[in-house]
Chain A
Amino acid sequence: MKLIFEKSSPGRGGVRIPEDRISPEEMVPSELLRGELAELPEVSESEVVRHYTKLSRLNFSVDTHFYPLGSCTMKHNPRACEKAAAMPELCETHPLWPQLRHGGLLTQGSLQILYNTERLLSEITGLAEFTLQPLAGSHGELTAVMMMAAYHRDRGNHKTHIIIPDSAHGTNPASAALGGYDVVTVPSDASGDMDIDLFKAALNDETAGVMLTLPSTLGVFNPRVKEIIDAVHAVDGLMYYDGANFNAIMGRIKPGELGFDLCHLNLHKSFSTPHGGGGPGTGPVGVCEKLRPYLPISRVAKTKDGTYTLDYDQPKSIGYIAPFYGNFSILVRAYAYLLMLGREGLRGTSDRAVLNANYVQEKLRPHFAAVTPGRCLHECVFSGKSLGEGVHTLDLAKALLDRGYHAPTIYFPLNVPEAIMIEPTETETKETLDAFCADMIEIAELSKTDPDALHNAPVTTPVGRLDEVAAAKNMDLVYMD
């Protein structure tokens, strides 16, 4: 499809600006102005609408396809949450208003939503306090690592590294490094959990903390988590809970009660805020009581008279990590979702997410090499090694696209060869899961009888397999006419 720039024609225009011209007395000197106007497209509104409508139709999405992308929780995005977030009173407030004297009164509604959301997340996770500021999961991780550093500095601890299992998402080690720590990677054992002996060998007085994903990226719950937590606390280390997989255990497990000190949640996963084709997300971080002083400023506070204010007076705080209070309109969606789920809905959601994953796992187990012998939680992981000779997980993924499904997550976690990670979520019918499993099984059979049919996939998508090596070599990153 042509680019919007290729549709441009001189003299066409989109939106009309009011003719209310004002001529100032003093003009900006011309040497401070740009020589030529930026070559933006010259197109009419109807062309823009048609162009982006057509582009949208080239996408797979939750609205149009089953999207069992593991570790991403591609659940339905309720439209009421979109509508709530679009209220003009919530969209049109300037973030600096509450920082003006008496300006807090202008934004009581927004502050109340933030306050209520923090309280709900604290209750759901069993942690004392939350900051809603982190702008995605990875940003939450970095925020948490910065709080770990502040805690250890305050305590006079000399800490040099953070321990992370090899099955962790890449953002964990990257965030630990950006927070100033060395990363010690611990391999997984046969059951997919962090190898406990190697972990204990790695743990010492210089361990600042451990970042654990629970359930792990294999969809299993480490039964020895308490042992790990106790060992880490014994060296005054901090336990970090990567909550990207929280959809498995909502309304059933409170990470804070297990002894975790910090946790981030991906509201764009468990709490159904839309992924937007890669964001915006939001990654609130909860902390236990002893870490409360280090939370980023500002803090939303409720005063005695029931009004809400921003508190900047936190001398031990790590400071600003975002310009304001987080991705506010995404937080409104999560708040709306939580209100609709309620206590029972939280647990009911996770129950059904886990049921759907187990159902898929058992249906596929006879045909694919499952990574876990027993039950899984919100997702199930297989290895594509059981596919026919010369057929890889990538081929399976592309064949699924031809059958009208988005592919599962593939080649992650890194500790499973040819990994296929399926997360159905609770918002799918049994019929969809049955049809998907039938197609998976058909592909597994085809991989043995007609592998070329899979090597050529996909054939029904707007483009076939794209040459990624050429893309990296040619570096055609912007359009040149």
Chain B
Amino acid sequence: MSHTPFACTSPSDEKAMLDAVNAKSFDDLFDLIPADFQTDSFNVPDGLSEMEMMQHIRKIARKNSSDLTNFCGAGFYDHFIPAAVDSLTSRGEFFTAYTPYQPEAAQGTLQAAYEYQTAIARLTDMEVSNASLYDGGTALFEGMMMALRITKRNRVLVDTGVSPIYRTMLRSYTRNLKIEYQEIPLSGGVADRAAFKAALTTDVGAVLIQNPNFFGCIDDLTDLIEDIHAVKAISVLSAYPVSLGLIKTPGAMGADIVTGEGQSLGLPLSFGGPYLGFMATRKKLVRNMPGRIVGATTDDQGRRGYVLTLQAREQHIRREKAASNICTNMQLCALRSIVYLSLMGKHGFADVARQCMDRAGYAWTRLKAIPGVEPLFDRPFFNEFALKLPKDASEVVSDLIEEGIAAGFPAGRYYEGMENVLLFAFTEKRTKKEIDILAAKLEAVL
């Protein structure tokens, strides 16, 4: 066997090929590169066999604990994934293909992307969707940039109910751009209507909101979006897709651009990625939308087929004037999500949303009954809510980890003055019994 794993040429092939290109050795092939640019000094270990590599990684992987009962969400959720999602998306015809640049040779990827776009449009109640972006945070940034491009303005208002992780990203990204970035603090757990009204001057181009917000509260943002439209600004709403199985849609509230994290649609938590940024909008804004878009068309014999379309927005054509720099996106993750949504189906998906909400509702009653525990906001929520504990939430989390429970996410990590606030998340995977145990153990450590 050749000492180069996965290469396919035999020593005699290599000799014949080197002869054919007039080279005596492999080194000869690199003779146009000055010798002093080249080095053999690499402190990299010798290659491992497949068996040794698996042993090595398995040993490291075992240092992770994956058998915790998880109530930690904060935008990233532990949902059930049907087996067929893995099985279908691990078909080599899907995962070893490149971006569908030759549409006749990529109808599988392209049709699945068109189906995905359809599903996202239907979930969000919007007219069009792109084929994916990197993640919910970069999608929100792209949505903001899209709004500023359309309005030709440079002021942005951001509700602090938007995930603090995403707001931290937005602050990094806007640092070098001529963008005026302003955050508007929540009021009573939801967007502060009066503060927004006061800040909504005619130089505001984009307003960023999230529903359910970081604290899990759900709201009808129709009135706020009307106020945004009154100054001809654009609303960018970040949504949690599972909630859209049941709650009022961004489309119904009049949102202009909808973005979000698609991880909950059939993607494992995987320690942070790969995830799936989605974006939907109104048809009239689509020429300013970033990312790849798949469209239906016909071939010379009138057969339906799919292509990458509206490419005049993209970097390979527009270069520095493109709508975004994105090239490689998250196509396989989008495929996972359309397979997931097809498997769950219209009623199954709504049922998942219902179960998440009901479990959170049950836990709410149980947990707030514990002496010393109080709700942070008394507002309707979807699958997550925040409680004020009588002691430091990080300490409580640390104590419960010892008991095999990841109890939640301490809001104090990102919000000043919330050291005692803990955010609890519930999915269809958490049972009544697990919630009862959480309540008992929480009470015991307080």
Contact = CB atoms under 8 A, between A and B. Distances in A.
A342 interface: yes
A5 B118 contact: yes
Contact of B274 (A21, A330, A428, A479): A330
B137 A322 contact: yes
Interface string B56-83: 1110111111101010101110101010
Interface string B94-112: 1111111111111111011
A454 interface: no
B446 interface: no
A101 B309 CA distance: 47
Contact of A426 (B7, B29, B325): B7
B332 interface: yes
Interface string A243-261: 0000001011110011000
B299 to A, nearest CB: 4
A52 B45 CA distance: 41
Given A109-B60, A146-B172, A362-B21, A344 B4 contact: yes
- The winner among B176, B342, B361, B365 for most chain A CB atoms within 10 A is B342
A14 B4 contact: no
B271 A276 contact: no
A359 B20 contact: yes
A386 interface: no
Nearest to B431: A20
A319 to B, nearest CB: 3
Interface string A407-427: 101001000000000000011
A39 interface: yes
A449 interface: no
B171 A276 contact: no
A474 B118 CA distance: 16
Interface string A313-354: 000001111111111111010011011111111111101101
A477 B110 CA distance: 11
A335 B53 CA distance: 10
B222 to A, nearest CB: 10
Contacts of A105: 65, 401
Interface in B248-301: 248-249, 252, 261, 268-275, 283, 286, 292-301
A92 B66 contact: yes
Contacts of A78: 5-6, 50
- The winner among A296, A374, A474 for most chain B CB atoms within 10 A is A474
A92 B269 contact: yes
Interface in B389-433: 394-395, 397-398, 401, 406, 409-410, 413, 428, 431-432
A265 interface: no
A178 B39 CA distance: 35
Given A277-B94, A324-B271, A179 B118 contact: no
A196 interface: no
Contact of A466 (B47, B50, B297, B316): B297
Contacts of A326: 272-273
Contact of A123 (B42, B106, B168): B42
A341 B6 CA distance: 9
A31 B23 CA distance: 75
- The winner among B327, B329, B357 for most chain A CB atoms within 10 A is B327
Interface stretch (A79-87, A197-205, A285-293): A79-87
B24 interface: no
Nearest to B397: A100
Contact of B349 (A40, A343, A359): A40
B62 A82 contact: no
B108 A56 contact: yes
A353 B253 CA distance: 54
Counting contact residues on chain A (CB < 8 A from B), the size range is 35 or more
Nearest to A330: B274
A253 B34 CA distance: 11
A294 to B, nearest CB: 11
A190 interface: no
B384 interface: no
A107 B65 CA distance: 7
A136 B176 contact: no
Given A59-B93, A84-B53, A477-B117, A135 B300 contact: no
B310 A475 contact: yes
Nearest to A29: B380
A69 interface: yes
Contacts of A253: 33, 37-39
- The winner among B269, B322, B331, B359 for most chain A CB atoms within 10 A is B269
Contact of B98 (A3, A31, A67, A465): A67
B383 to A, nearest CB: 11
Interface stretch (B120-128, B152-160, B199-207, B228-236): B120-128
Contact of B273 (A86, A321, A329): A329
Given A94-B78, A328-B271, A464-B299, A113 B305 contact: no
A20 to B, nearest CB: 6
Interface in B163-181: 165-166, 168-169, 171-173, 175-178
Given A93-B271, A109-B61, A276 B327 contact: no
Interface string A440-462: 00000000000000000010011
B213 interface: no
Given A59-B93, A329-B270, A359-B21, A319 B349 contact: no
A41 B342 contact: yes
Nearest to A73: B98
Contacts of B325: 138-139, 141-142, 171, 174-175, 177-178
A102 interface: yes
Nearest to A7: B342
Contacts of B248: 31-34
B273 A136 contact: no
A232 to B, nearest CB: 17
B94 A276 contact: yes
B317 to A, nearest CB: 7
Contacts of A158: none
A358 B17 CA distance: 9
A390 interface: no
Contacts of A177: 320-322, 325
Interface in B1-54: 2-9, 13-14, 16-18, 20-23, 26, 29-34, 37-40, 42-50, 53-54
B344 interface: yes
Contact of A221 (B32, B271, B329, B333): B32
Given A112-B60, A401-B102, A28 B273 contact: no
A453 B320 CA distance: 39
Nearest to A25: B365
A22 interface: yes
B174 to A, nearest CB: 9
Contacts of A301: none
Q: 8 tightest A-B contacts by CB?
A: A24-B361, A342-B47, A324-B272, A276-B332, A348-B4, A63-B92, A180-B176, A319-B172
23 contacts: A14-B343, A32-B218, A32-B220, A32-B247, A38-B346, A62-B92, A80-B50, A94-B72, A100-B72, A103-B398, A174-B315, A329-B271, A344-B47, A348-B7, A354-B26, A358-B17, A359-B21, A463-B107, A463-B304, A470-B297, A474-B297, A477-B128, A478-B127
Given A463-B304, A468-B307, 8 more contacts: A41-B346, A52-B88, A52-B339, A72-B98, A77-B96, A109-B60, A355-B17, A477-B295
